[in-house]
């Protein structure tokens, strides 16, 4: 019997990945909403998207066996609502919000793993006295601010002075509504404590600056059992907050990874998250031998799919599909053709610019051919403004991504340089 799995925001790249998974010969994958609606925009009308998704599901003449996704907001917060309505497996909306509502998440962490949580407080960026109230919460410069709900590194700022805070609040006031209004709708659907409901979607977090070697632990919970299955290093460009590449498997000491896995099992069990994938971002402060938990995401990291396929043999979408169908994930280890793999981000560090030239499709193909198995995605087109790119951090623009594998990290970095020599981007109207 064919089992029907609906995938929110399914595109052709991910459809190909899904068809290569284990145990899907009897699975039919169906798109639910388009990538343009859920990931290629900064406008999210969640009630309208839910209605369209429900209309599609109601009109389907067959069994609905799973509803899944691999994208951050708004997909991650729509999934529990749809799964609840159609009686398919996923974690509860409240357990997801304990991860995605950053203030609630920090409060829950402080209960279960207090030694791994920085000082934090919530604040209203529209409050002219916000900076003094942050000080009353025992947070001093430098600290970091970010929205209560965001995706990627969008609207995240390091604050070293009152001037930095003024700049950040100006940007937050101008742009936070794109996330806060749809997130408030999701919050209204949940059973929340009064103190959490009062911290609405337009609020922000101020947190003690933490640092060290950053990584992401990918994991899942199956019938109450928390299973971390892989750790990916997050390497930044020198002296800036922007990511240069993600590297799998992690080069952190085994004892550090084991401790992160222990923390992961503790916090996810405490939250009550179940029957879904997740990832947790950590820092290891090597000098103090201190592990900090940065944040929890209620999805697998899409950026890591190719890395797991290159090293382990299949994309870790295996986890998402198996859990959606109610079975223990059949995630292999070390069965891929490469020893290490990475996603590199080609970035430009402008305030804004106009794209004057992009590599042609043929040029991209030639560049990818420099290293077998390389995949390149360009995010810009000629004459567009960089500020039109969605989901960017506050310090740079990701112009392209390059996924590739190798037998060792040094060879991987050398290969990346050879590929990038073939890609020529040009920019005008540059605002430094």
> What confidence score (pLDDT) does residue 377 get?
94
- With respect to residue 351, please indicate whether it lies within any of the assigned structural domains: yes
> Collapsing DSSP states into helix, strand and coil, what is residue 140?
coil
Number of domains in the chain: 3
Q: Report whether pLDDT(62) > 90.
A: yes
Instruction: Tell me what the mean pLDDT of segment 141-167 comes to.
Output: 91
Q: Are residues 136 and 77 in the same domain?
A: no
Q: What's the domain range around 399?
A: 340-431
Q: Is residue 202 part of a domain?
A: yes
Q: Please indicate, yes or no, whether residues 75 and 152 belong to a single structural domain of this protein.
A: no
Residues 6+ apart with CB under 8 A from 356: 382, 383, 426, 427, 428
Per-residue exposure over 394-411, b if at least 16 CB sit within 10 Å of its own CB, e if not: bbbbbbbbbbbbbeeeee
Residue listed under structure tokens 């999701």 = 186
The answer as to whether 158 is a domain residue is yes
Is 242 part of any domain? no
> How far is the CA of 392 from the CAs of 152, 153, 156, 337, 386, in angstroms?
7, 7, 10, 32, 10
Cβ(103)–Cβ(196) under 8 Å? yes
Closest C-alpha to 23, from 331, 276, 275, 308? 331
Which secondary-structure segment (H or E) carries 377? strand 375-378
| pLDDT at residue 196 in the model | 97
* Residues of the chain above pLDDT 90, percent: 93
The DSSP element (H or E) to which 405 belongs, if any, is: strand 397-406
Q: What is the mean pLDDT of residues 6-35?
A: 96
- Residue found by looking up tokens 């069965």 in the block: 335
- Smallest Cα–Cα separation from 339: which of 375, 307, 376? 307
Same domain, 127 and 205: yes
Is the pTM above the cut of 0.85?
yes
Task: With a cut of 70, say whether residue 152 has pLDDT above it.
Answer: no
**Section 72-78 average pLDDT:** 92
Q: Which of 209, 229, 248 is the last residue of a domain?
A: 209
For residues 43-57, average pLDDT: 95
- Please state, in angstroms and rounded to a whole number, the distance separating the CA atoms of residues 315 and 312: 8
Write down which residue in 158, 186, 209 finishes a domain.
209
Query: What CATH number does the domain containing 356 carry?
Result: 3.90.1170.30
Residue 258 included in any domain: no
In our burial notation (b when 16+ CB lie closer than 10 A, e otherwise), range 288-322 reads: eeebbbbbbbbbbbbbbbbbbbbbbbbbbbbbbbb
- Asked if 68 and 127 sit in the same domain, the reply is no
> Average pLDDT of 1-23?
96
pLDDT above 90 (res 395): no
Classified as helix, coil or strand, 404 is strand
What's 77's domain CATH number?
3.40.50
Confirm whether 333 is domain-assigned. no
Owner of token pair 């992160």: 260
Distance CA 250, CA 231 (A): 5
Q: Does 100 map to a domain?
A: no
Region 183-200: mean pLDDT is 96
Q: Provide the 3-class DSSP secondary structure of residue 315.
A: coil
In the block, residue with structure tokens 């299955």 = 229
Mean pLDDT on 213-231: 98
| pLDDT value of residue 248 | 98
């Amino acid at each position: 019997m064919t089992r029907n799995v609906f995938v929110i925001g399914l595109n052709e790249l991910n459809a190909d990945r899904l068809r290569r998974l284990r145990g899907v010969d009897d699975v039919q994958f169906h798109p639910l909403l388009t990538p343009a609606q859920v990931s290629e925009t900064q406008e999210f009308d969640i009630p309208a998207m839910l209605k369209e998704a429900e209309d599609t599901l109601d009109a389907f003449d067959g069994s609905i066996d799973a509803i899944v996704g691999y994208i951050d907001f708004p997909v991650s917060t729509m999934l529990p609502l749809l799964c609840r309505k159609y009686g398919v497996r996923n974690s509860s909306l409240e357990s997801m919000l304990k991860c995605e509502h950053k203030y609630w998440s920090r409060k829950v962490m402080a209960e279960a793993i207090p030694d791994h949580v920085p000082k934090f407080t919530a604040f209203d960026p529209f409050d002219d006295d916000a900076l003094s109230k942050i000080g009353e919460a025992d947070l001093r410069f430098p600290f970091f601010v970010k929205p209560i709900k965001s995706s990627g590194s969008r609207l995240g700022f390091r604050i070293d002075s009152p001037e930095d805070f003024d700049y950040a609040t100006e940007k937050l006031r101008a742009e936070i509504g794109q996330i806060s209004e749809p997130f408030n709708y999701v919050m209204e659907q949940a059973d929340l404590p009064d103190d959490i409901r009062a911290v609405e979607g337009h609020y922000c977090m101020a947190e003690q600056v933490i640092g060290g070697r950053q990584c992401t632990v990918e994991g899942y919970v199956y019938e109450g059992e928390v299973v971390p299955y892989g750790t990916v290093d997050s390497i930044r460009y020198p002296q800036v907050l922007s990511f240069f590449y993600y590297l799998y498997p992690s080069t952190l000491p085994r004892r550090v990874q084991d401790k992160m896995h222990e923390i992961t099992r503790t916090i996810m069990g405490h939250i009550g998250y179940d029957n879904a994938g997740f990832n947790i971002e950590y820092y290891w402060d090597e000098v103090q031998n201190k592990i900090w938990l940065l944040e929890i995401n209620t999805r697998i990291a899409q950026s890591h799919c190719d890395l797991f396929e290159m090293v382990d043999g299949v994309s870790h979408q295996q986890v998402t599909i198996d859990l959606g169908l109610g079975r223990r994930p059949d995630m292999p280890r070390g069965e891929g053709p490469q020893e290490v793999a990475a996603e590199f981000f080609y970035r430009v560090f402008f305030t804004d610019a106009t794209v004057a030239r992009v590599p042609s499709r043929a040029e991209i193909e030639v560049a990818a051919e420099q290293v077998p198995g390389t995949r390149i995605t360009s995010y810009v087109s000629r004459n567009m403004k960089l500020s039109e790119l969605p989901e960017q951090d506050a310090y740079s623009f990701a112009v392209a991504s390059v996924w590739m594998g190798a037998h060792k990290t040094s060879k991987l970095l050398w290969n990346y340089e050879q590929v990038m020599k073939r890609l020529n981007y040009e920019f005008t109207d540059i605002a430094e």
